[in-house]
Structure 1
Amino acid sequence: MQLLAALLLALAVAQPYTRAWTYSGEAHVLVLDGSASMLATDVSPSRFERARALAREYLRQMPPHDQVAVILAGVRPRVLCGLTYNRSEAMRALQSAQPAETGANLPEALTLAAAMLTPFAAPTIEVFTDGGFPDPHDVDTGRARVQYHLVGEQADNAGVVAVDLREERDAPGKFTLFALIRHNLPQERQYTLELWRGDNLVDAQEVRVPARSEASVRFRHLVPSDRPEELRVRLDVRDALACDNTAYAVLHPVRPLRVLLVSKGNLFLETALNLDPRTQVERLSVLPDDSASRYDVVVYDNLVPSAPPEGNAVFIGKVPSWFPVVPLQQVQNSVVVDWHHTHPVLRYVDLASVRLSQVTPVLPQAGTETLAETGEGAVMVALQKPERRWLLFTFDVTDSDLPLRVAFPVMMLNALRWLTSPSESVERGAIVAGGLAVIPVPGKWEKVTIRLPDGKSVEVGVQEGAAPFEETLRTGFYQCVETGYLFAVNLAQREETDLRVHSPASAEGRQTEAGVRRVLARREWWQWLAGVLLALLALEWVMYHRRW
């Protein structure tokens, strides 16, 4: 009997099977919207919980022959459960789903669902959402029919949809915090916007927002202290969505900048670099040795180092052979025809018709960014890496009329700030929830720990002096434990603040036969063998005990 039991056990482990005709139903993918607007409490307890309840009810009513999968549509869609007949597994996947304070990439979620349903003849994609996204009508879902299950009411809501912290042009060392307020109310309304510095309320302003529109507020003359400070802009209102009523920014200390100017003499350039009282400029007439690493920025005026510098640098007049550009033929009497208006170096800078008496245009290579160009090619190029930033002017500024314009000193001030700011989006609080934050990590750390707004921690690897961090799923303040670096994450998405329930047009798939159909499937027998084995062992146990 024991030999027979061993044989049955071996056969069960081998999982024998035969092929037989069976019945197969439809396949369904349940897509659960996990965006910030689903946290709204206009329906109890929230839109997300209502959507989860609808998905559970849909799952309970599915025919037993149908397969089901579950996808959470966040900023990066996630498969919580692959296609399965197991209803308990799908229920557990629905229970594990959690919304985030981010947007939702529904087109990508639909594409992912359609890919899972490719082998099926009449599949469906069931989307449980409030419709707070652009209608994804251009998404090809193949044969799959898309059906929307809407949750929520037409709730009134207001929120802070943008925040930006910038240094004041006319007062270096002081900052202005810009905030943009938006609401979806059908009439004008007045709000109170508070500015908190740490735990202290330091300012409050009244703002009138037109019907279904937005209005801006400025908090000026913010002076940094000797340590990073948390700034909160709070909208004094109680509405259906709480996470968009507060925006966050970090006011970092302003430290002196050490700048080395390597030049045989350029009064215009030296004067422009000295305009910022925080900047300490030293000048050398010959190329420096390794001591150049002691400076925050090195400006090479018509002199080129033999090897690429390790730190931040500006190259003027000559194109280094190792800079990732291809020099073109030198031209005379050229004119700037276009420039990158929104780049930090060229903010508030007008380069229209700047005349260049002599210039070497270049063809930028991968990893670089063109800031200004003439009809012949690029003449200003930026290169940004985690551990350093470079700026290239392919012309001598004294061979142009640029130093005679107001744009020149403004541009040089912008350049110094950009070169020494580890990550402008991180510095200004412009990280959108769900986006990538590149955290500067000086030193030789291989891993760092990021503390999240809820107090939890996540380990992140360091690459070339920076830690790329994507788990920005909650608004608030994040901090690198090892370095103490503090940064802010904001919702800043108009679509999430607008809580009006939208009804996207359903993406109807091609008409195919629906319902149950016969297919040739694999039928496994190991369960039966295991059952016989258990019965045999039970029989042996009974016979053994009856001897006594």
Structure 2
Amino acid sequence: MLSSIMNPWAFLGLLLLIPIIILYLLKPKPKRIRFPTIMFITRVERDRRFRFFPKRFVRDPLLIVQILIILLFVIAIADPYMKTRVKKGIAENVVFIIDSSASMRATDIYPNRFERAKQIVNGILDKMQEGTKVSILLAENVPIIVLKNSNKENAKSVLNQIECGDTPTNIGDAILFAKDMLSDVSGSKEIYLISDFSNTEGMDVGVACSIAEKDGIDVNLLEINNNGENMGIVGIQGKRFLSERDRFYLTFTVRNYYETDKDVEIEIWLNDNLISKINDKIPRNSERLFYIEDKISYDLGIIRVMLNVNDNLEVDNRAFLVIPKIKKYNILLITNDSADDFLKYAIMASPDFNLSVAISPVIPEFHKFDTIIHGRIDKNRILDGMYHDLKSYVESGGNLIILPYQDLIDIQNREPELGELMPTTLKWLMNSEKYIEINAEHEIMRDVIMADIIVKKYYKNTQKNNSIVIAEVGNEPLILYHKYGSGRVVYMGLNPNSEWSNFYYSSSMPVFWFKLIRWINRKDMALMNNFKTGEYIPLDVNTTIVTPSKKVMKGKNLILDEIGLYEVNLNSISDMIAVNLIDESESDIRKSIQIDITSTMGDEEDVEVNIELYPYVLGIVILFIITELILYRRRGYFVS
């Protein structure tokens, strides 16, 4: 069907038909008639020329041919085209983006969404020509390259090996990453994105597609989603009580994504013992928070929360929590008589610490302790060599916490080893009441309330050695630390003494010191025990990890993309970590991203194309010109 023309002004050329028709009507037509008198013929022709010109117009084939030639030539110049739908071909360079997030494990499409996505990619690969360059990306919370600029045979091999992860997804960033992969190649370029479009982090998918298309890349969006139903664990927390280390609490949240109320049975296991079973009904499209307390030994505890429910996504029906074993830390506080009493009480409140107090100048050997706290020390009661020993202790892996006092600046200036150990250089003492400003998110500040803490005295100081500032007061570093040798040194500028601050009466003080001492003793090679999928283990050395599926991985900064319990082995240290999905949007497996979809199940796409008609019209014009020449020849115009 003729849809439109590109150059409508070309039809003005039809005005050429007017003079041609007039000339044909006025021009006598030669005719051979056998009559004896030429004058008679002339008179007859003159009379018939005007009397019968309509019949001449209809019966003269040469005139009709020339009119058709001009008409068709004008149409060709007008550049007509026809819209039609055809099966779209495959480009010379193709990047497949396969959504491998947790929601792609949903079984609302058999056998699951991810396996169906692999089948679709296989089908597209079968239709590819030899020589097509193929790349494959997995869209997790970060894009993962599994194949780059290879052929379709290798792509099929890789496709059979890839597995779905348990992470959230970031489709927009994956599209931009694929665009960058195609930026340096020549030839036609195409991206196939196969996803359930249930949710995404990062850049908007539509914006990412527009950016790629501006670079001349075709983006095809293939949807795999049957709006499955799900119920899942979307939050979990738990730890030992600070005051009762042989007891723990556990909170977890279960969300019902069904359109109807749903009964659920929940089992809670501690190690291999079932400690609680809960039966409840959760209203449609809502969530419920559960809380329990129970006893736990001082050893490592592994908690499992299991939902017994038949839904379309199994991966969020399980959640794990590791409660670390109790490790006793030996703490040495160097102080004077009756000084630092509030600090003593805060540390002694925790059964995790064995506190020893040394009154200067009688100091025990440092290597017996995990952490040394430099409290209020009389500058006139310091033994020679103490700071040399303290420096050696930190260099070999010990930890030092320094509190500010009146004599500290004099000791810093007199003892170069202490000045070298400190993460800051003290200048002078400030007497001014100020509130604390938290400068950086740090684990030692979690659950610690500093909003009502007033600092009465603090040192004006300058940080050094790339130290990290956690809190400030009056634009001066207050709490900061740096790594020295194999140990850490913290300048704890918030002195709990009543002359320096009101921190001593805050309920957050024992919590803060508990977190500070546990953190400073964990060191770089120690681990946090609970993670979300998509996070990574931040280690500076090679680590061996056994995943929940019993795969063995080695390396640094390993991404945790599988739900369950990991065994981590670092040198002689072995530990367990728990990894959970815990993502409310990822557990919602219904389609939520509103975007135009190319195809729902990977069928060949019918695309609308414009077919230009001028080559065909010009071909007809040439045929008519040949016909015109034949007519002229038959009339004797080319006879010599």
3-state DSSP of counterpart to 1:114: helix
| Structural RMSD (CA) | 3.5
The correspondence of residues 466-477 of structure 1 with structure 2, limited to 5 A, is 468-477=556-565
Counterpart Cα distance in 1 of 2:295 and 2:466: 35
Counterpart among 440, 453, 456 of residue 548 in structure 2: 453
Instruction: Report deviation, 1:54.
Output: 1.3
Cα gap change, 1:340/1:507 in structure 2, threshold over 3 Å: closer, same or farther? farther
Number of the residue aligned with 1:155: 228
Cα gap change, 1:123/1:416 in structure 2, threshold over 3 Å: closer, same or farther? same
Counterpart among 262, 273, 296 of residue 370 in structure 2: 296
Number of the residue aligned with 2:314: 242
Deviations 1:4-35 (A, max 9, x none): xxxxxxxxxxxxxxxxxxxx954221111111
3-state DSSP of counterpart to 2:115: helix
Number of the residue aligned with 1:145: 218
Deviations 1:68-98 (A, max 9, x none): 32222234433333234x3322322322322
Q: Is the 8 A contact 1:262 1:286 kept in 2?
A: yes
Q: Is the 8 A contact 1:324 1:365 kept in 2?
A: yes
Number of the residue aligned with 2:347: 273
Counterpart Cα distance in 2 of 1:208 and 1:344: 36
Counterpart Cα distance in 1 of 2:523 and 2:268: 26
Number of the residue aligned with 2:162: 97
Matched, 1:356 2:356: no
The aligned amino acid for 1:313 is L
Cα gap change, 1:137/1:267 in structure 2, threshold over 3 Å: closer, same or farther? same
Number of the residue aligned with 1:77: 143
Counterpart among 355, 359, 368 of residue 285 in structure 1: 359
Q: Is the 8 A contact 1:39 1:46 kept in 2?
A: yes
Counterpart Cα distance in 1 of 2:579 and 2:136: 28
Deviations 1:218-266 (A, max 9, x none): 23133224x3232211112121111211111223321333211111122
The aligned amino acid for 1:267 is D
Counterpart among 184, 194, 202 of residue 257 in structure 2: 184
Number of the residue aligned with 2:402: 315
Q: Is the 8 A contact 1:165 1:428 kept in 2?
A: no
3-state DSSP of counterpart to 1:244: helix
The aligned amino acid for 1:223 is I
Once structures 1 and 2 are overlaid, which stretch shifts more, 29-38 or 131-140? 131-140
The aligned amino acid for 1:456 is K
Number of the residue aligned with 1:44: 110
3-state DSSP of counterpart to 1:269: helix
Counterpart Cα distance in 1 of 2:265 and 2:101: 27
Counterpart Cα distance in 2 of 1:143 and 1:455: 44
Cα gap change, 1:185/1:422 in structure 2, threshold over 3 Å: closer, same or farther? farther
What residue ranges of structure 1 are gaps of 5+ in the alignment? 1-23, 441-445, 461-467, 509-513, 516-548
Number of the residue aligned with 1:339: 438
Cα gap change, 1:368/1:203 in structure 2, threshold over 3 Å: closer, same or farther? farther
Cα gap change, 1:91/1:341 in structure 2, threshold over 3 Å: closer, same or farther? closer
3-state DSSP of counterpart to 1:348: coil
3-state DSSP of counterpart to 1:489: strand
Q: Is the 8 A contact 1:316 1:397 kept in 2?
A: no
Q: Is the 8 A contact 1:191 1:236 kept in 2?
A: yes
What percentage of aligned pairs have identical amino acids? 20
Greater length-normalized contact order (CA 8 Å, ≥ 6 residues apart): 1
Cα gap change, 1:96/1:366 in structure 2, threshold over 3 Å: closer, same or farther? farther
Instruction: Report deviation, 1:423.
Output: 7.9
Counterpart among 469, 482, 493 of residue 370 in structure 1: 469
Instruction: Report deviation, 1:268.
Output: 1.3
Q: Is the 8 A contact 2:358 2:364 kept in 1?
A: no
Number of positions where the alignment pairs a residue of Structure 1 with one of Structure 2? 472
Q: Is the 8 A contact 1:297 1:313 kept in 2?
A: yes
Cα gap change, 1:125/1:356 in structure 2, threshold over 3 Å: closer, same or farther? same
Matched, 1:133 2:200: yes
3-state DSSP of counterpart to 1:281: strand
Cα gap change, 1:505/1:409 in structure 2, threshold over 3 Å: closer, same or farther? same
3-state DSSP of counterpart to 1:336: strand
3-state DSSP of counterpart to 1:470: coil
Once structures 1 and 2 are overlaid, which stretch shifts more, 367-376 or 44-53? 367-376
Higher helix share: 2
Counterpart Cα distance in 1 of 2:484 and 2:101: 32
TM-score by length of 2: 0.66
Matched, 1:106 2:175: no
Q: Is the 8 A contact 2:567 2:576 kept in 1?
A: yes
The aligned amino acid for 1:48 is F
Counterpart Cα distance in 1 of 2:125 and 2:484: 49
Once structures 1 and 2 are overlaid, which stretch shifts more, 491-500 or 137-146? 137-146
Q: Is the 8 A contact 1:453 1:475 kept in 2?
A: yes
The aligned amino acid for 2:294 is H
Deviations 1:367-407 (A, max 9, x none): 65433322322312255799655432225332222213333
Cα gap change, 1:484/1:83 in structure 2, threshold over 3 Å: closer, same or farther? closer
Number of the residue aligned with 1:404: 505
The correspondence of residues 471-490 of structure 1 with structure 2, limited to 5 A, is 471-480=559-568, 482-490=572-580
What residue ranges of structure 2 are gaps of 5+ in the alignment? 1-89, 378-385, 413-417, 599-608, 611-640
The aligned amino acid for 2:532 is V
Once structures 1 and 2 are overlaid, which stretch shifts more, 194-203 or 480-489? 480-489
Counterpart Cα distance in 2 of 1:144 and 1:212: 39
Matched, 1:433 2:499: no
Matched, 1:379 2:467: no
TM-score by length of 1: 0.76
In terms of Rg, which structure is larger?
Answer: 2
Number of the residue aligned with 2:19: none
